[in-house]
Structure 1
Amino acid sequence: MVKPGITKDKDEEEWHTKLLTYAQTICYLIGVLFFLLGSSIAVYIASNDLKEGAPSSPESALLT
Structure 2
Amino acid sequence: MSTPKAVVEVVAADLQGPGVVACPNPKQDLWSNHPKVYIDVVKNGEGKCPYCGTVYRLKAGEKVHAHH
TM-score range, shorter chain: under 0.3
For CA contacts below 8 A with separation 6 or more, give which structure has more relative contact order. Answer: 2
Between Structure 1 and Structure 2, which shows a larger proportion of helix residues?
1
TM value normalised by structure 2? 0.16
TM value normalised by structure 1? 0.17
Structure with higher Rg: it is 1
Between Structure 1 and Structure 2, which shows a larger proportion of strand residues?
2
